[in-house]
């Protein structure tokens, strides 16, 4: 199976988690650039979010495309070119050619799990300036000089998400750039609000890699 077929084959089975972008607890664990790729050789890209949830897909694609455009990179969202969603590699490839794209970003979840982290109780000793304790012996001094403040233990439930973003060249479907990220999100967090911080991290590293060229 070539890249054009394989890069979109998982669309029907991946859960809709592109919404769960990744704020301050996100880090890029690996970034790779094809060493043979000439700098700024990709001029216009299509952004594809592999997600079953249409609103989540559109939100992520718009945010990613907008962040690229702010860096001077020409970018379009896949849903604007394929309103019905990416159903097969042929239709996606046709849409890329029709819109003048020579690269495609594909972002998808590769792993997701729930992790409970327990934080044990903590005690803090706070001094009290009662000088009479000096004359009442050891026990009196200790009891009157320190008060103990104890915080109870608690458990935080997090979603740990690993996201993969690949950039493929249109003319030969070759993988030319890839990034892996790990995100820790609290279950109660507003995941939609975390898309922008995640995209910012991604675009920053992409610009540093000098893979995509800016519009002239």
**pLDDT tens readout for residues 161-195:** 889 999 999 999 999 999 999 887 776 555 666 78
Percent of the chain beyond pLDDT 70? 69
Highest mean pLDDT among 1-15, 62-76, 86-100: 62-76
Predicted pLDDT at 194: 73
What fold, for 3-113+157-209? Answer: Rossmann fold (3.40.50)
Predicted pLDDT at 101: 95
Predicted pLDDT at 52: 76
pTM: 0.70
Residue labelled with tokens 């249109």: 170
Question: What is the rounded average pLDDT of the residues 40-57?
Answer: 89
Predicted pLDDT at 133: 45
Predicted pLDDT at 160: 83
Percent of the chain beyond pLDDT 90? 37
Strand ranges for the chain from DSSP E: 26-33, 44-49, 74-77, 103-119, 122-127, 146-151, 154-169, 175-186
Domain parsing of the chain, residue ranges: 3-113+157-209, 118-151
What's the CA gap between 46 and 89, in Å, rounded?
Answer: 13
- When pLDDT is cut at 50, 70 and 90, the band that residue 66 belongs to is very high
* 213 Cβ contact list (under 8 Å, min separation 6): 39, 40, 41, 42, 43, 73
What's the CA gap between 158 and 117, in Å, rounded?
Answer: 8
- When pLDDT is cut at 50, 70 and 90, the band that residue 19 belongs to is very low
Q: Give per-residue pLDDT as tens, 84-140.
A: 766 677 888 889 999 999 999 999 888 878 777 767 777 666 555 544 444 555 455
Query: Are the C-beta atoms of residues 169 and 153 closer than 8 Å to each other?
Result: no
């Amino acid at each position: 199976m070539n890249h054009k077929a394989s890069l979109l084959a998982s669309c029907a089975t991946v859960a809709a988690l592109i919404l769960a972008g990744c704020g301050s607890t996100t880090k890029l664990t690996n970034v790779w650039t094809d060493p043979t790729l000439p700098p700024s050789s990709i001029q216009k890209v299509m952004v594809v979010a592999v997600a079953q949830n249409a609103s989540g897909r559109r939100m992520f694609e718009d945010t990613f495309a907008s962040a690229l455009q702010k860096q001077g990179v020409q970018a379009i969202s896949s849903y604007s070119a394929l309103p019905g969603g990416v159903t097969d590699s042929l239709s996606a490839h046709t849409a890329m050619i029709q819109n003048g794209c020579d690269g495609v970003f594909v972002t998808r979840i590769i792993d997701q799990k729930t992790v409970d982290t327990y934080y044990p109780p903590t005690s803090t000793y706070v001094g009290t300036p009662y000088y009479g304790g000096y004359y009442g012996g050891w026990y009196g001094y200790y009891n009157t000089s320190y008060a103990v403040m104890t915080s109870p233990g608690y458990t935080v439930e997090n979603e740990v998400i690993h996201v993969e973003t690949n950039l493929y060249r249109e003319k030969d479907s070759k993988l030319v750039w890839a990034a892996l990220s790990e995100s820790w999100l609290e279950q109660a967090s507003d995941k939609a609000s975390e898309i922008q911080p995640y995209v910012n991290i991604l675009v920053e590293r992409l610009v540093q890699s000098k893979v995509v060229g800016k519009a002239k």
